[in-house]
């Protein structure tokens, strides 16, 4: 494959091929490679490389004849070049003609490019800078609408001239990094998979808090099945190497077709909201099956409140509280000024002085989800 001079090689190839094509045009027409804003009064054709795009077929392929069959390694830089071939007339003739000769040269160049649309290794017109080729160099006519042409000439601050677009591919610049293969397999391991892995059908309840238990209806479970709650960005950091927040098996036996799980009380500081409950099965240390289902962590009061006096300040022991926590007493929202978020496990509350005395319920809402009722007696 070619090195960093590959694009230069394509420039030279197009210039030489076009120069040969217009050699018989009278009067003489030159061929240049450069920008559109060049000032030149002579009749000429100009190649302007205005765009470079990746080749979609080769961008992730291995270098031919040197790639690895089992790894991507270091794919080469595979490109497609987009050119504008424009016709620039000379000054006015005695008959008032100026474009006709440039148009004649453009027609001759397009004919030559059409006849030599595929240039294989060994073609004398190919520049040495473009060699070696991965595959024959393909030169194809590319349609450019008036809007695209106008933008090019406007950027060059020059009057628009007749031009045609060409795409050239495949242009490959070899990678300088060398692929280092990983070590061979030292100890082959084969896991006999008895099923497609766990399949979760239902969970009860779907709304719960840390310390609570749930029953999961599932099939395909094995002794190697582990259950996790996926982490949320608002959670504390996961333990190193953990795939999620691990759930513990429930101490009580579950009915047939179900498995009992407990969310450890130590996970009270997880953020509230919808979570993914994931079952992952492993065999001989290799994962071979997984499934998931949704559950919702809701904020809850985790310690009895008992009797509280109107206007009193108390600190609630909570689970899954968040900065947007709200408190409702007997269905009425406690003013935000009387509620302070201390942490996921603590919320300070001033009991409203206008609260109705007697038994009632207190509810937390955070993360757009509400928790269970907590009994309270207002005195």
- Judged against a pLDDT cut of 70, whether residue 126 lies above it is answered with yes
Q: Which of 139, 173, 207 is the last residue of a domain?
A: 173
Do 230 and 104 fall within a single domain?
no
**Two structure tokens written together for 13:** 């190839």
The answer to whether position 330 is within a domain reads yes
- Judged against a pLDDT cut of 90, whether residue 371 lies above it is answered with yes
Half-sphere exposure of 201 (CA within 13 A, CB side): 8
Q: What is the CATH number of the domain that holds 260?
A: 2.60.40.10
Helix axes 6-21, 99-115, angle to 10 degrees: 120
Q: What is the CATH number of the domain that holds 20?
A: 3.30.2000.30
Name residues whose C-beta falls within 8 Å of residue 65's C-beta, 6 or more positions apart in sequence.
Answer: none
Q: Output DSSP code: residue 332.
A: E
Residues 108 and 95: their CA atoms lie apart, in Å, by 23
Binning pLDDT at 50, 70 and 90, where does residue 116 land? very high
Between 231 and 92, whose confidence is greater? 231
Binning pLDDT at 50, 70 and 90, where does residue 365 land? very high
Instruction: Give pLDDT tens digits for 154-196.
Output: 998 888 999 999 999 999 887 777 666 667 778 877 656 555 7
- Range of 92's domain? 6-173
**Two structure tokens written together for 119:** 């240039």
> Which of the residue ranges 62-66, 125-129, 156-160, 215-219 would you say has the lowest mean pLDDT?
62-66
In the block, residue with structure tokens 């392929």: 61
Do 312 and 290 fall within a single domain?
no
Do 56 and 35 fall within a single domain?
yes
* 3-class secondary structure, 71: coil
Binning pLDDT at 50, 70 and 90, where does residue 4 land? confident
Q: Are 87 and 99 in contact (CB under 8 A)?
A: yes
Q: Are 195 and 181 in contact (CB under 8 A)?
A: no
Q: Output DSSP code: residue 36.
A: T
> Which of the residue ranges 20-24, 71-75, 156-160, 271-275 would you say has the lowest mean pLDDT?
71-75
* Res 246: pLDDT: 94
Q: Are 116 and 17 in contact (CB under 8 A)?
A: yes
Backbone phi and psi for residue 9, each to the nearest 5 degrees, phi listed first: -65, -35
Q: Output DSSP code: residue 367.
A: T
Residues 311 and 348: their CA atoms lie apart, in Å, by 13
Residues 360 and 373: their CA atoms lie apart, in Å, by 9
Of the ranges 34-38, 71-75, 361-365, the best mean pLDDT one: 361-365
Q: Which of 252, 282, 297 is the last residue of a domain?
A: 297
Half-sphere exposure of 59 (CA within 13 A, CB side): 6
The answer to whether position 183 is within a domain reads no
Do 91 and 228 fall within a single domain?
no
The answer to whether position 349 is within a domain reads yes
Do 306 and 318 fall within a single domain?
yes
Do 82 and 129 fall within a single domain?
yes
Name residues whose C-beta falls within 8 Å of residue 342's C-beta, 6 or more positions apart in sequence.
Answer: 315, 348
- Judged against a pLDDT cut of 80, whether residue 98 lies above it is answered with no
The answer to whether position 193 is within a domain reads no
Binning pLDDT at 50, 70 and 90, where does residue 28 land? confident
- Judged against a pLDDT cut of 80, whether residue 331 lies above it is answered with yes
* Res 6: pLDDT: 93
- Judged against a pLDDT cut of 60, whether residue 223 lies above it is answered with yes
pLDDT, mean over the chain: 88
Do 23 and 162 fall within a single domain?
yes
- Judged against a pLDDT cut of 60, whether residue 220 lies above it is answered with yes
- Positive or negative: CA dihedral 129, 130, 133, 136: negative
Backbone phi and psi for residue 143, each to the nearest 5 degrees, phi listed first: -75, 130
Between 92 and 358, whose confidence is greater? 358
Residues 239 and 230: their CA atoms lie apart, in Å, by 13
* Res 92: pLDDT: 66
What does 236-294 look like in DSSP terms, one character per residue?
PPPPTT-SSEEPEEPSSPPPTTEEEEE--GGGTTSPPEEEEEEEEEEETTEEEEEEEEE
Do 30 and 113 fall within a single domain?
yes
Mean pLDDT, rounded, for 119-136: 91
Do 266 and 211 fall within a single domain?
yes
Mean pLDDT, rounded, for 68-81: 71
Residues 339 and 341: their CA atoms lie apart, in Å, by 7
Facing residues of 276 across strands?
294
**Two structure tokens written together for 328:** 């409702």
The answer to whether position 288 is within a domain reads yes
Domains in the chain, number = 3
* 3-class secondary structure, 8: helix
Q: Which of 262, 297, 332 is the last residue of a domain?
A: 297
Do 205 and 312 fall within a single domain?
no
Do 106 and 17 fall within a single domain?
yes
Q: What is each CA distance from 235 to 197, 274, 294, 299, 321, in whole angstroms?
A: 29, 13, 17, 14, 11
* Res 195: pLDDT: 59
* Res 32: pLDDT: 94
Mean pLDDT, rounded, for 352-367: 94
- Judged against a pLDDT cut of 80, whether residue 5 lies above it is answered with yes
Between 220 and 271, whose confidence is greater? 271
The answer to whether position 184 is within a domain reads no
Alpha-carbon 345 to chain mean position: 36
């Amino acid at each position: 494959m070619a090195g960093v001079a590959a694009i230069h090689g394509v420039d030279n190839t197009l210039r030489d091929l076009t120069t040969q094509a217009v050699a018989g045009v009278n009067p003489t027409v030159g061929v240049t490679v450069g920008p559109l804003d060049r000032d030149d009064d002579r009749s000429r054709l100009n190649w302007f490389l205005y765009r470079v795009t990746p080749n979609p077929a080769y961008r992730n392929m291995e270098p031919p004849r040197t790639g690895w069959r089992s790894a991507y390694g270091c794919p080469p830089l595979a490109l497609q070049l987009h050119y504008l071939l424009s016709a620039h007339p000379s000054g006015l003739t005695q008959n008032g003609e100026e474009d006709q000769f440039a148009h004649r040269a453009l027609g001759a160049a397009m004919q030559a490019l059409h006849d030599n649309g595929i240039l294989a290794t060994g073609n004398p017109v190919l520049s040495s800078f473009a060699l070696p080729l991965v595959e024959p160099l393909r030169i194809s006519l590319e349609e450019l609408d008036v809007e695209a042409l106008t933008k090019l000439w406007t950027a060059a601050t020059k009057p628009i001239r007749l031009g045609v677009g060409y795409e050239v591919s495949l242009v490959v610049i070899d990678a300088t990094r060398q692929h280092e293969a990983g070590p061979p397999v030292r100890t082959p391991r084969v896991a006999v998979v008895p099923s497609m892995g766990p399949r979760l059908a239902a969970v009860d309840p779907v709304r719960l808090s840390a310390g609570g238990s749930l029953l999961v209806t599932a099939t395909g479970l094995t002794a190697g099945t582990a259950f996790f709650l996926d982490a949320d960005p608002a959670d504390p950091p996961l333990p190193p190497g953990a795939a999620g927040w691990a759930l513990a098996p429930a101490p009580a036996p579950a009915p047939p077709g179900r498995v009992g799980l407990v969310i450890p009380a130590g996970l009270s500081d997880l953020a509230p909201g919808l979570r993914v409950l994931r079952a992952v099965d492993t065999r001989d240390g290799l994962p071979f099956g997984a499934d998931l289902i949704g559950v919702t962590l809701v904020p809850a009061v985790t310690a009895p409140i008992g009797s509280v006096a109107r206007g009193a300040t108390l600190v609630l022991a909570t689970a899954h509280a968040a900065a947007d926590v709200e408190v409702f007493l007997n269905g009425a929202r406690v003013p935000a000024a009387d509620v302070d978020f201390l942490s996921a496990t603590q919320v300070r509350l001033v009991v409203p002085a206008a609260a109705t005395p007697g038994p009632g319920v207190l509810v937390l809402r955070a993360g757009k989800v509400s928790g269970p009722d907590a009994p309270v007696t207002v005195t």
